[in-house]
Amino acid sequence: MTIFYRPLPLLATLAMAAGVYVQFLRPMEYPWFAGMGAVAVFASALLMAHGRVRYADLLEKMLPTALLVFSVVFATLLAEGAWMRYALVGIGGLSVFLSLELLFLYAFMPSRYPVNGLSRVNIAYVPLTVFFTSATAIGLMTFLNSSASAQLVSRVIYVCVMAVLGVTLFRTTGHPDASAEQNRRWMLVGGLVGLHLGLLGVMLPLAMNVQGAVAMIVFGGILRMRRYLYQPFPSRAQAWTEFVLGACMLVALTVTSRWL
């Protein structure tokens, strides 16, 4: 039976990449093509996990991938320029392949599964998910430019989405050594970070991609800080290097970008 499941990661990858690509060719039929690619990904994960991985474990290990897939599908709505479109096709396909390939090893060949393999790639997905979600949502609110009451509703929805996203990402990327109490505390921290980023997004008069980059840097930086609470502790020099680089990128973005 393994031979039946072995091609699923590659087939789902091709379905996702092709769905996103065709979606750009048929923008008026959004989100059907990209959405069908996402369905193929989720169906493949369920097929491989059925009877082999507990659904609770599957949800925790694959939810960050699902959020990235949703954010890629969402981003196809307003993506501009060939480079962004090809980036979405590549990121969507590569992330799906990595996650499903690791899931296959976890379900069928546990001896070959890298320790915390899915947990590691899930952390790498966080900045991308935050960027695509934030940038596209801000762009959509600006593009619609509807009545004052509709704008208020859309802003409240955006703030709530960012808060829920923060809770979910902080919970599903928790450190393997973290206790249940620590995970609950970090969920609260993630919700507060997402809430504040949502409020910042509706107040800062910056372009959509800049908004997404600011949210990505702030969210990723705070998530990275959690790593310094668990052994082996990164060095102090590494901590300062990461802090200075993050601060410089944030300042450069806000200073050099055109304010609307």
Provide the 10 A C-beta neighbour count for residue 258: 8
Contact 97, 10 (CB under 8 A): yes
- Residue 260 — pLDDT band, cuts 50, 70, 90? low
Element (H, E) at 130: helix 117-144
C-alpha–C-alpha distance, residues 212 and 78, integer Å: 13
The helix/strand count (H/E) of the chain reads as: 10, 0
Mean pLDDT within 159-165 = 95
- Mean pLDDT rounded to a whole number for the chain: 90
Confidence of residue 1 (pLDDT cuts 50, 70, 90): low
C-alpha–C-alpha distance, residues 180 and 129, integer Å: 25
Q: How confident is the model at residue 224 (pLDDT cuts 50, 70, 90)?
A: confident
Question: Is the pLDDT reported for residue 145 higher than 80?
Answer: no
Helix runs in 29-115, H state only:
32-49, 55-75, 82-108
pLDDT in tens, 46-91: 999 998 999 889 998 999 999 999 999 999 998 888 888 999 999 9
Highest-pLDDT range among 23-27, 142-146, 181-185: 23-27
Calculate what percentage of the chain has a pLDDT beyond 70. Answer: 98
**Percent of the chain scored above 90 by pLDDT?**
60
